[in-house]
Structures are given as C-alpha cells and as structure tokens.
Amino acid sequence: MQFYMDGFRGGDPDIKTAARGRRFCGPHAPLPEQVDVLIAGCGPAGLCLAAQLSQFPGIETMIVERKPGPIEKGQADGINTRTMEMFQAFGFGEKVKRESYWVNQTAFWSPDPAKPEHIRRIGRVQDVPDDSSEMPHTLINQARVHELFLDVMKNSPSKLEPDYSWQVADLTVDPTTDDHPVTVTLENTGINAGDTKTVRANYVVGCDGARSNVRKAIGGTLHGDSAHQAWGVMDILANTDFPDVRQKCLITSAKEGNVLILPREGGYLFRMYVELDKLNPEERVAHRNLRADDIIAAANRIMRPYSIDVKQVVWWSIYEIGHRLTDRFDDVAEGEDRNPRVFTAGDACHTHSPKAGQGMNVSMQDTFNLGWKLAHVLTGRADPSLLRSYSAERWVEARRLIDTDHEWSRIMSAPPGESELDGGNMPRFQKQFIANLEFTGGLAVRYDPSAIVAEPDHQSLATGLEIGRRFHSAPVVRVADAMRMELGHVAEADGRWRIYAFAGRGDSSEPGSAIHRLAEWLRSDPASPILRHTRKDEDIDAVIDLRAVFQQTFDQLAVEDMPSLLRPLKGPFGLQDHEKIFCTDHKGAGDIFDLRGIDREKGCMVVVRPDQYIAHVLPLDATDELAMFFAGVLLPAAGR
C-alpha cells in the first residue's frame, strides 16, 4: 500500500482526504437535483459499483436504498476466489481472509447401502484446486461485505454514503439530449412514505433486485422457469454429533431430500440449505406456511443417524428455486443505434438458486465490469460507445450461470437414482461438483474478442495468461525492498490499465535492452499511448501503469540504471515511485515465468484492464500494435 505521495498525514491511511465541493451525504441531507450516476439498491452489486465510483470525486454519484439502513444478517454468504481477488483490489481482501471461514475441503455424504435410511461419508474434495488462485474461497455474513464496501465509500475522496428510505419508482430517458437525459422519480419509503422527488441523471444502474423497478421502466422482463421445489435456509448456533459440521458438506438421503452445510465465520455458526416440499405447478412457497421448525425437522430426517440440537436461529428463510434471465442488461432495444443510459445488474437481470454460491459473486462482478467503463466515459477518457460492451460481456456470463446452475439444481434435487446420486465409486453430484470447480470459483469467465479484448495472435508468449480471462497472479519479489508478494496485488480498483512487461532472458534493462527500449518509447515517443491518453497535469501513470518483471534475483539488478518510467516522479512533491520493478521469486514460492507459461527467451507484455481481465498479450517490441489497441479504447487526452 502506498500513501504520503501528497504529503505526510497521520492516522488511518485508508481514509482519503475529502475532495472539495463534494456533496454532503447522510441522514436528513437534501437530495441533489442532478447527478452523473444514480444507483438503485444497496445490495452487493450496487455497493460494489458505488465503492468504485466513489474514488472519482469528479463524478457525482448517488446510491439510494428502500430500506431504512444497512442489513445486519442473513442472505448470501459465499465469496468465491475471483471475488476475493477483487476484494484485494478494493483494499479489504486481507480483512475478509482474517474474519471469514475458509472452505478448504468439501465432504460428500449419501445413503449407506447397508442401511439406506442412514447417511455415510463417501469422499472429500479439495475445494480450491492448487494454483487456481492465491486467494481462498471464504464464507462471511453478507452484511459484513456491505459494511466493508460502505467503509470504502465513506473513506473515499467523495465521502459517499447511501440515501436510505428512497427507491426508484419510475424513470424516462430522453434520447434527444446528452445533458442528464434520464429523469428518475424517487419515492420515499420511510417516515414520509409516498413523497416523491425527481432527480436527473446521466446514467442509472438498477441493482434493485428481482422485482426491479429500473428493469420494468426500460421494458425488461425476466424469462425462465421454476423447479417448483421449496428449500429452507437458516443460520444457526447448534450442537450436533455430525462429524463434518465444520466442513462444507453436500448430503443426500435415500428418501428425505438433500442438505447443504456451510460453516460460517467465528467457529460456531453454520448455515444449512434444506430441501423441503415439492410444489404443485401453480403453487408458491408462501402457500405452504413453512417455518423454521420445519427446516430443522427436515434436516434431522435427512441427516440420520445424526441429529442437530439448535440453540439459536440467527436467520432463516424459505425460497423456491427459479432460473430467470433478461434478454438485455441495458435500455437499448434490439435494432436501436444509440449508446445505453440505463443498466441493470445482479438479481435485477438474472436470478438462480443460491446453492452454487454464485449470486452475490456474479452480481458484484457485473458492476465491477461496468464501473470502470462508466468512469472512463464520465471523465472523458473513452467514448460512450464503450458502455455497449457491458451488456455484451455480462449477458453471456449470466447465461452460462443460469445453464450451469439449472443442471446443478436438478442433480441436487432429484430423487436417488434419477440423477445417479448413488451407485458407482463416485456419485454424479460429486463428479459434477469437481467438474464445476473452475466455474464456482468465478474463474471460468472468458470475454470474447472486441475493442477491449484483442485477438490471441501472440498468446503463445504467455500461455497461462489467457486473453479474455482474469489476470492470474503469481509470486514475485519487489526489487526495491526485496518484498515477496503477489504481482496481481499491485492493481487497485482505481480505474487504471496495467502493462506488465516480462523481460527476456538476460535482460536487466540495460540501455538498448527490450525492456529499456519499451519504457523509453512509452515515455517519450509521440505515438506512445501513455503520452497520447494522459493529460499534462496528471502523473505519468494516471491512466496506464507500467510494471516490469525480470528473471534475475533482486540483488543482481541495478535499480539506478532502470528507465525513468519505472522510477517516475509523482504527486505535488515529485516523489519517486520505487514499487514498479519486480523479479521472480527464487525461494520456492514459484517462478512466475514457469507458472504462467511466459516465454523466457523473448519475454512479452500483458495488458490488463481496470477490472483485472487480460486485454492483450504482445511482444515487447510491438509498439505499433500497443498504440493501435489503446487508440481503439481511449480518447486522446485534452490538450495533447
């Protein structure tokens, strides 16, 4: 973590200096007349977007929530490894690691052939495969995740806080103007319930759940089906003789249904998802009037010969599995030739069962994808057409989520035999779980070639860093202070692009070497994307951040001989940045060149988007291709 660039200031470095002219947020604060971005809903998707936009004080952001304040418990709890990587970029990944339960193993239980009314353990699987991510799969209360995002917002230069007890009632878009064309009607849901307020916005993002008023206002509809199966979920403090209660467990019984056990943070709390009654085609869960006692009784029937003695029910709910998806994630109808102004994210555009643990994760990844694009457009770095890529990229991933979750739900809910839940050395639900590990880790996302994802013409230079997939971190050593660390952790959620330049064999950045030539070209050539897209009053790495990785040990590299772009002077005092030069980790944690299939002879550069997805892999001398790529994404900087 770097700070003091703008001068020494004591106290918590996470608390940023407030920007001048910011709007005062909080209880009783008047609502603004107009904003750049209005976010509806303080769920994971909305808060992730608000946290990212809060880092840009020049962007006027407003987030409204119909509830009177933050949630305190319940709802989602699973944080997959890809989301943990994102949390690291926001600055609270280590805090979640410290507070959460780590899912290290998943145990599988099925009917005992000798006594089918009893269950037995049939196997265990390592939950996070080796070298799939440096981050763990964790479980933590969703309310705590909300609190961490709220802290990022409150500590940001914008000092952004939600406006509670307000919801979007309706909105209209005027396509004839670019001056705050979205007129939003907000409705008070608190003390002055029913009162309305009109706010004009440049962009609106609906993160307001499955009954989203934002989605309805733009003509969006959730299409899909229901499994007509009631499930119960509860967080409990309980004693049990079940031996695997502190491991994630998938349990299937012969006749009573299925249970999913998820241990929670703190060492005592755990969650159960319990299969309940099959519903008639036109019946809804509410018609059965099921209660917490019904969930507990069902769990005890399924888990025989073991039992659960519940001491406290912290939270519970009954739900019905449904798989639904909208046909688009923005307000541009098929055949319209304009840029979007209104977007939906999370449950507002896709819903599914909670058992795959993807709902909160995919929702946050939706808005992490959208956030940097909105920031680029609103700060004048990119054309508004960039926003078309949000729906194009995220709809495909949502479709994959729905399809995978649909198959998994059928397997989990089918009676024994009908989906091969029993029989053979490994039941189908265990095989399917193993096959889905990359997906459930959030690591299967791959964006197709576009203006912001290049064709894989030079993929052979870094076979383990696939274009269109997230940047897969690996261990390195920071040369300036011999600090062992993960390379991916240098990327913060700050809207910047990264170029990781991997040096070829023998290159120590002496004058004339490939790394030196690249850095000097980026620093001084008129065609350089850094010069073309960075404003004169900005730090040299404000838009594109160059980092270099060498194959020598840190003591074999002469920092003083490195090109100035790798040791830039920044901030009002012109302080030198010492944290842009790395080498491989030679102490056994793993060589990044070997781990990620980087060509040792030639080296390469890897271009990474602000949302941590790989946009391009290029030879170190492919400067024309590099300039052409960025020219297709970013606008020339004003004044250049």
372 contacts 610 by C-beta, under 8 angstroms:
yes
Estimate to the nearest angstrom the gap between the alpha carbon of 532 and the chain centroid: 30
| 547-561 residue pLDDT tens | 999 999 999 999 998
The answer for 549, left when phi > 0, alpha when psi is -120 to 50, beta otherwise, is beta
For residue 420, what pLDDT band results from cuts at 50, 70 and 90?
very low
pLDDT at residue 74 tops 90: no
CA distance 364 to 349: 13
Cα separations in angstroms, 276 against 13, 100, 315, 619:
49, 29, 17, 57
pLDDT of residue 19: 81
Task: Please state at what angle helix 388-413 crosses helix 359-378, rounded to 10 degrees.
Answer: 180
| Per-residue pLDDT reduced to its tens digit, 125-138 | 999 999 999 999 99
The fold for domain 459-631 equals Glutaredoxin (3.40.30)
Flag whether pLDDT at 278 surpasses 80: no
Question: Is residue 72 predicted with pLDDT exceeding 80?
Answer: yes
pLDDT > 70: percent of the chain: 93
- With 80 as the cut, is the pLDDT of residue 432 above it? no
The region of weakest confidence among 12-26, 209-223, 589-603 is 12-26
In tens, the pLDDT along 145-187 reads 999 999 999 999 999 999 999 999 999 999 999 999 999 999 9
* CATH number for the domain whose boundaries are 34-73+141-222+326-403: 3.50.50.60
Q: How far is CA 11 from CA 5, 88, 147, 260, 300, in A?
A: 15, 21, 20, 44, 51
Cβ within 8 Å of residue 588, ≥6 positions away: none
Nearest to 38 by CA among 149, 211, 197, 156: 197
Residue 507 reports pLDDT greater than 90: yes
Residue 400 confidence (pLDDT): 84
245 by Cβ neighbours in 10 Å (0-12 / 13-18 / 19+) ranks as middle
> Strand runs (DSSP E) across 27-177, as ranges?
34-40, 61-65, 78-79, 101-102, 105-112, 115-126, 138-139, 163-164, 166-173
The number of angstroms, rounded, from the C-alpha of 159 to the middle of its chain's C-alpha atoms is 22
Q: What is the pLDDT of residues 613-629, one digit of tens each?
A: 999 999 999 999 999 99
Instruction: Return the HEC string of 358-404.
Output: CHHHHHHHHHHHHHHHHHHHHCCCCCHHHHHHHHHHHHHHHHHHHHH
Determine the length of the chain: 640
Give strand pairing partners of 607.
Answer: 499, 616
Given a cut of 80, is residue 546 above it in pLDDT? yes
Q: Quick one: average pLDDT of 405-427?
A: 57
Indicate if the pLDDT at residue 355 is higher than 90: no
| Mean pLDDT score, 211-218 | 96
The C-alpha atoms of residue 182 and residue 200 are separated, in whole angstroms, by 6
The answer to whether the CB of 133 falls within 8 A of the CB of 443 is yes
CATH code of the domain occupying 95-139+225-322+414-437: 3.30.9.10
Note the pLDDT tens digit of each residue in 474-489.
Answer: 999 999 999 999 999 9
CB-based contacts of 263, cutoff 8 Å, min separation 6: 101, 139, 245, 246, 247, 248, 269, 270, 271
What is the structure's pLDDT at 287?
56
Is the confidence at residue 238, as pLDDT, over 50? Answer: yes
Taking phi first (over 0 means left), then psi (-120 to 50 degrees means alpha), and beta for anything else, what does residue 526 get? alpha
pLDDT for residue 587: 84
Query: Which amino acid appears at position 392 of this protein?
Result: A
Q: What is the pLDDT of residue 433?
A: 74
Distance (Å, whole) CA 51 – CA 207: 14
Among candidate residues 95, 85, 125, the one with its CA nearest the CA of residue 109: 125
Q: Which residues of 575-587 are buried (b: 16+ CB within 10 A; e: fewer)?
A: eebebbbbbbbee
In b/e form, how buried is each residue of 439-477, taking b as 16+ CB within 10 angstroms? bbbbbbbbbeebebbbeeebbebbeebbbbbbbbbbbbb
pLDDT on residue 286: 60
Q: Which of 240, 355, 228 is nearest to 302 (CA)?
A: 240
Residue 357 predicted with pLDDT over 90: no
Domain ranges in the chain are 34-73+141-222+326-403, 95-139+225-322+414-437, 459-631
Express the helix, strand and coil content of the chain in percent, nearest 5 each: 25, 25, 45
User: Which DSSP helix (H) or strand (E) runs through 586?
Assistant: none
- The pLDDT-based confidence of 429 (bands split at 50, 70, 90) is low
In this predicted structure, what is the pLDDT of residue 244? Answer: 97
Whether the Cβ atoms of residue 607 and residue 543 lie closer than 8 Å to each other = no
Reply yes or no on whether the pLDDT at 640 is more than 70. no
- What is the model's pTM? 0.94
Rounded to the nearest angstrom, the gap between the alpha carbon of residue 368 and the centroid of all alpha carbons in its chain is 6
Sequence-distant (6+) residues with CB within 8 A of 192 are none
> Shortest CA distance to 546 belongs to which of 494, 504, 582, 591?
582
pLDDT in tens, 555-587: 999 999 899 999 999 999 999 999 999 999 988
